A and B are shown apart, each in its own frame.
Chain A
């Protein structure tokens, strides 16, 4: 599987024209400089920790990924098979850049890495995900997170 422009035309068109929510608000949160930020990853790759229940179809809820999860703990249960998985198989940081975040924190470029990260199933209708996203926001705030990198597949 390749870039959008390299996909079969019908599939590329379907992805590009996918219905997207039409939000009426345009939120914008500012904050301190990066060296003072505590950063979490929120992925939509359908990631699960080995042994936990995978996403079944388009489940709208989320899975918790502890910052202590080692590379061998992570599996992807995304419903779509039309994206590359071999990059993730070789190196989780292609999808879930926890090692890179830890390095940035060690170098003082960001303040800290969150204790907990989160994963959703990206193919799910965003409207159904909304209450769970707001729940995740509460959990992130209780972990003093003030910056999130959102990672799709």
Chain B
């Protein structure tokens, strides 16, 4: 965002950027930036904590009244209270992943079906979902991912998305569905807890990992690029 700040400011609009990666901000030298000590993906810190978010936002906006600059980079002094694990949180029930019996594709389909009630609870509790990028229903998404896992290489149902891109969006939707469903039980899990559950305990996580391994053997370079980098987060890719 620092570069955008530079362009907008050149056009006559005052800007203040939130910075998550201080070394990048120091190199780009935007007019004003507030570095925050939060995890990537959370520029305003704690979810469902309006008072905390307001402090971050106001601290940044007040930098617009600073009389001398550029370049002004300040540090926000508070940590995100929601970055801490909540020991009271329990994930919803999902069957243990098995290497024998049902295929991973079938285990994925069963798990998504099983989590449906929890996800409905999430939607009614929050009046929103972030599932929907692919434009498919969650059942269709799951089917699309499972078909790839079964070696079918299904075509994209939409002209404006290639099949590899469709796979990426379908995987994004399946992950979002599971992670939302996991937040309907008691407690406020950290992102680390949710990630540990998704990638270590669920058939969905195991299926996406298996898909990555299988499709890395593809001759389609675009598909290889997508499964290599954009379906399993780098810290969750098993060491070679």
Contact = CB atoms under 8 A, between A and B. Distances in A.
Interface of A: 1-4, 6-8, 11, 15-18, 20-23, 25-31, 33-34, 37, 39, 42, 44, 48, 50, 53-54, 56-57, 70-72, 74-77, 79-95, 97, 99-101, 103-104, 109-110, 120, 122, 126, 129-130, 133-134, 136-138, 140-141, 145-153
Interface stretch (B3-11, B104-112, B139-147, B213-221): B3-11
21 contacts: A3-B40, A11-B234, A16-B23, A18-B24, A20-B3, A20-B27, A25-B10, A28-B31, A29-B14, A34-B64, A42-B1, A83-B39, A89-B183, A90-B47, A97-B57, A109-B58, A130-B3, A133-B3, A134-B7, A146-B13, A150-B16
Contacts of B233: 1, 81-82
Contacts of A82: 40, 233-235
* Nearest 4 CB-CB pairings of A with B: A83-B41, A126-B3, A84-B41, A137-B11
B57 A149 contact: yes
Given A6-B39, A29-B15, A77-B169, 20 more contacts: A1-B39, A1-B195, A7-B40, A11-B235, A27-B10, A28-B31, A75-B130, A82-B40, A84-B39, A87-B46, A94-B53, A100-B50, A130-B7, A137-B13, A147-B13, A149-B17, A152-B19, A152-B20, A153-B20, A153-B41
Interface string B162-203: 000100010010001001100100000101101100000000
A2 B130 contact: no
Contact of B21 (A16, A100, A104, A134): A16
B62 interface: yes
B152 interface: no
A89 B130 contact: yes
Interface residues of B, number: 84
A67 to B, nearest CB: 16
A90 to B, nearest CB: 4
B13 A148 contact: yes
B228 to A, nearest CB: 12
Contacts of B194: 86
Contacts of A145: 13
A103 B38 CA distance: 23
Contact of B128 (A54, A72, A109, A152): A72
Contact of B54 (A75, A100, A150): A100
A4 B162 CA distance: 32
